[in-house]
Amino acid sequence: MGGSGGVLAGGLLGAGVFCAWWSCWERAPRAAASARPRRVRRALDAAGLAALPPAVLVLACVLCAAAGSLLASALTGAVVAALPAAAAGAAAPVLLVRSRVRRRRAGRAQEWPDAVDALASAVRAGAALPDAVCALAVRGPQRLRPAFAGFAAGYRASGAFEVELAHLREELADPVFDRLAATLRMTRQVGGSDLGGTLRTLSAYLREDQRARGELLARQSWTVSAARLAAAAPWLVLALLATRPGALEAYDTPAGAVVLGGGAVATAVSYRLMVRLGRLPEPRRVSA
């Protein structure tokens, strides 16, 4: 007992010395991934779902996958049919979030030139830069007014222009406003007398960019439609066959599962490839 007690006392003493030595060193900063918003968080912010935790999206994917698999099994009677249905159900919430992001960006992109024009007019009329930005809550486009109203309330309460501008930037999560915010922040910090001209140039550029993107999107719409039709056609045929009793019994085997799995993988890869080849590059956000 005495020997074991000595070993225990020595171990505790060594642990204490190690803890004291470890506390003398400064901890390395955490990985940059913890400081930056995660990918899911950024997608939810861009979709206007800032109050929704990322775990809710993950839970929705799991529930949709379970519902799809159960529904497919009940309708077809083939267990193997539940796998593609589960994959489609799991992807549905993510696709809905991405679609919402695209719609919000497209709607706001049409209104940003008017917002920049209103800001340039206020600056040209002699208004201070913070007051000109706050005025967009009343004179700006309808879709952007709630966000700028929050900025105006925060600025009146705190008086910190750059802090409230950073909050507005995170709320909007828009590449166009990232460039506008960088311009406003630089003007606020170093000053400048040509802000009105810069804003008018930015407005003209945004209108030209929207016109060019509209023409390209109209021309590429047939490519996206063809990709969707080609990806959905085999599965529509399979769904029609499933309405006949016993039609899916051939797939309810290991070989049939391999065929369905290979078809699902080929469909997903080919669809993503066609969409990527025909997709216009999305504007990237400017880091703060």
Model confidence pLDDT, tens digit, residues 145-182? 888 898 899 888 888 888 888 888 888 878 888 888 88
**pLDDT(258) > 60:** yes
Handedness of CA 166, 167, 173, 174 (dihedral sign): negative
- What is the chain's alpha carbon radius of gyration, rounded to the nearest angstrom? 28
pLDDT band of 74, cuts 50, 70, 90: confident
Per-residue pLDDT, averaged over 245-249, amounts to 69
Model confidence pLDDT, tens digit, residues 89-138? 888 888 888 888 878 877 777 888 888 888 888 888 888 888 888 888 88
Give the pLDDT confidence score for residue 36 in this predicted structure: 39
Per-residue pLDDT, averaged over 76-100, amounts to 79
CA distance 205 to 203: 5
Model confidence pLDDT, tens digit, residues 7-54? 444 555 555 545 554 555 544 444 333 433 467 777 777 777 777 888
CA distance 182 to 288: 8
Q: Using the CB atoms, write b or e for 166-205: b if 16+ within 10 Å.
A: ebbbebbbbbbbbbbbebbbebeeeeeeebbebbbebbee
Per-residue pLDDT, averaged over 254-267, amounts to 80
**Whether this model's pTM surpasses 0.85:** no
Give the pLDDT confidence score for residue 27 in this predicted structure: 47
DSSP 15-84: HHHHHHHHHTSPPPPPPHHHHSPPHHHHHHHHTT-TTS-HHHHHHHHHHHHHHHHHHHHHHH--GGGHHH
- Contact criterion met (CB below 8 Å) for 151 and 142: no
**pLDDT(6) > 70:** no
- Contact criterion met (CB below 8 Å) for 97 and 43: yes
Model confidence pLDDT, tens digit, residues 202-234? 888 888 888 888 887 777 777 777 777 888 888
Tokens (6 digits) for 84: 């593609």
pLDDT band of 288, cuts 50, 70, 90: low
Burial of 141 (0-12, 13-18, 19+ CB in 10 A): middle
- Contact criterion met (CB below 8 Å) for 144 and 108: yes
Name which residue leads in pLDDT, 256 or 10: 256
CA distance 130 to 254: 67
* C-alpha pair distances (Å), 6 with each of 1, 9, 15, 19, 20: 9, 5, 14, 20, 21
Give the pLDDT confidence score for residue 4 in this predicted structure: 47
CA distance 131 to 58: 41
